[in-house]
Chain A
């Protein structure tokens, strides 16, 4: 039996099930990161002193990573727009670019983490580094998760597109919503951890 409401919309919600599903998931993600942001505020306000992020972290590298993630958001939405135009080849180009930019982001984080560990700066060193590694580590896991789904759609997308293009387009849209959320979280993480 086919999965219902993958393309057609439900009369009660006015949406297909995939769309409502991904938004409910993202709502839970907001609460997950919200709890960690609240922890950050609690720890920072309660600390007798708090270092400026720029004195410990590498701002130019993080700025570069912010630009990379924003660019990947645009390539992601362009991948979806390509499918809406019926251009699968263009979709593969933009989706490939999105995945590649994800690798660039992870590569820069690897360099950042390596420098910290080399300088004997670990999560156990102080509260600032503990919350820094927790927040950026969790965010990095989300980047990995998004890249995995995008890579899956990039690899097996041809078959899905031939079988049911409207469903495939919806899947790419939902994957894109997650990817944009990851970008959105970073937009707040970057100034919070690196600049303030």
Chain B
């Protein structure tokens, strides 16, 4: 018996049509990620003002990251417990990113 046959005999048993549908989604997301990468680089050559460039780059990166998380990492159909863990993580991540801003608004550097 070949490995392929052995594999089929013990396959996890998922609906092939369902898997095919998933694969079509993966390919669509792949094309979108490629296109958005090109868009990100193209925008950087426009030499926009720094604040605008940062905002646009982060928005595009967030869209790309969401596509990877939702579809490649299957978060779109994941259990609530995982989403809850990630919700807490996202909150703490934002706190971490916000800390420098709080420090700055208190004039941390002004008094140096």
Residues of A within 8 A of B (CB): 13-15, 19-20, 23-24, 27, 30-31, 34-35, 37-38, 41-42, 45-46, 54, 59, 63, 66-67, 70-71, 73-74, 76-78, 81, 83-89, 158, 161-162, 165-166, 169, 176-177, 180-181, 183-184, 187-188, 190-192, 195-196
Could you count the A-B residue pairs with CB atoms below 8 Å apart for me: how many are there? 159
B93 touches A34 (CB 8 A): yes
Q: How large is the interface on B (under 10, 10 to 19, 20 to 34, 35 or more residues)?
A: 35 or more
B10 touches A191 (CB 8 A): no
Q: Could you tell me the dominant secondary structure of chain A's interface residues?
A: helix
Smallest distance from the beta carbon of A160 to chain B beta carbons, Å? 11
Given contacts A59-B41, A63-B37, A184-B65, contact A81 B7 (CB under 8 A): no
25 CB contacts below 8 A, A to B, read A19-B82, A27-B86, A31-B89, A41-B100, A45-B104, A63-B41, A70-B33, A73-B72, A74-B27, A78-B26, A81-B19, A85-B14, A85-B19, A86-B8, A88-B7, A89-B3, A162-B6, A162-B7, A169-B12, A177-B73, A180-B69, A181-B73, A191-B57, A191-B61, A196-B53
